[in-house]
Structure 1
Amino acid sequence: MTDTAVSISPADIQTIEQLYTFRERTEVLEFLDKHPFLIPVLLEAPDKIRHYFPDSQLFLEVVPDRESIDWVQLILSILMKLDPHEAVARLHQFDENWSRSLSHQVHQQFFTTLEYPDEF
């Protein structure tokens, strides 16, 4: 039996860790190891996000899907301090201009959301 799993390159891990803050690093890396097609998306996303949320922090976290017990997704949280209406409008534009072009496979495993700091 041959192991055909693709593992994440150390260079990709290093780059992704420079772009994002991991919440539960081991879980995120294990998820990416199982879903390597997300790596190019994660490498491209920050430049796209910065166009709409220039001063944001980006976090990655593996979270169970609320609708399915056995399903988990990688969540990219955009931490920013915009007015909620403005933030949602910008997220909608981001989705229209970039996220919608991503494959169905990516959409099944990856989700982008907004997050506000506690002191906001």
Structure 2
Amino acid sequence: MTDTAVSISPANIETLEQLYTFRERTEVLEFLDKHPFLIPVLLEAPEKIRHYFPDSQLFLEVVPDPEIIDYVLLILSILMKLDPDDAITRQKQMDLDWWLNNTTHEVRSQLITLLEYPDEF
């Protein structure tokens, strides 16, 4: 699929590309085209995430689910340099404060947030 076939608005694509680094841009856009209900969450997420992870970089990537054949997920990776215990505490608080109460089961079944460390950490 070429970018011209994607039905996501050019404005949303541009905004998402300012908020996230896409790992395999075409795959991410194709996934979002099939799951447009994720776009409002992805537009809102950086502000919420940066409350807990202020200096983080955010990435989007489509990956196969290791437990379900032919099922793919969108991974929102939060690249940060916090102490692992602190990072897990912050992620749990973010989940309680925002993620679990403000996203639907449909969203959570297609989009997962993961903490990621830089290679040099």
What TM-score does the superposition give when structure 2 sets the normalisation length?
A: 0.93
CA distance in 2, matches of 1:111, 1:10: 24
CA distance in 1, matches of 2:56, 2:42: 15
CA distance in 2, matches of 1:112, 1:68: 18
**Shift of the alpha carbon at 1:70?**
1.1
Identity level (%): 76
**Shift of the alpha carbon at 1:7?**
1.7
CA distance in 2, matches of 1:82, 1:39: 28
Q: Classify the secondary structure of the residue corresponding to 1:58.
A: strand
CA distance in 1, matches of 2:114, 2:95: 11
Q: Classify the secondary structure of the residue corresponding to 1:27.
A: helix
* Count of aligned residue pairs for this structure pair: 115
Q: Aligned partner of 2:74: which letter? A: L
Q: Classify the secondary structure of the residue corresponding to 1:119.
A: coil
The root-mean-square deviation of aligned C-alpha atoms, in Å, is 0.9
1:67 aligns with 2:106: no
Deviating 4+ runs (over 2 angstroms): none
Tell me, which stretches of 5 or more residues in structure 2 are unaligned? Answer: 1-5
Q: Aligned partner of 1:118: which letter? A: D
**Shift of the alpha carbon at 1:15?**
0.1
Instruction: Show the counterpart of 1:3.
Output: none
Alignment of 1:41-80 (within 5 A): 41-80=41-80
CA distance in 1, matches of 2:66, 2:97: 26
**Shift of the alpha carbon at 1:66?**
1.1
Instruction: Show the counterpart of 2:3.
Output: none
Q: Classify the secondary structure of the residue corresponding to 1:61.
A: strand
Q: Classify the secondary structure of the residue corresponding to 2:22.
A: strand
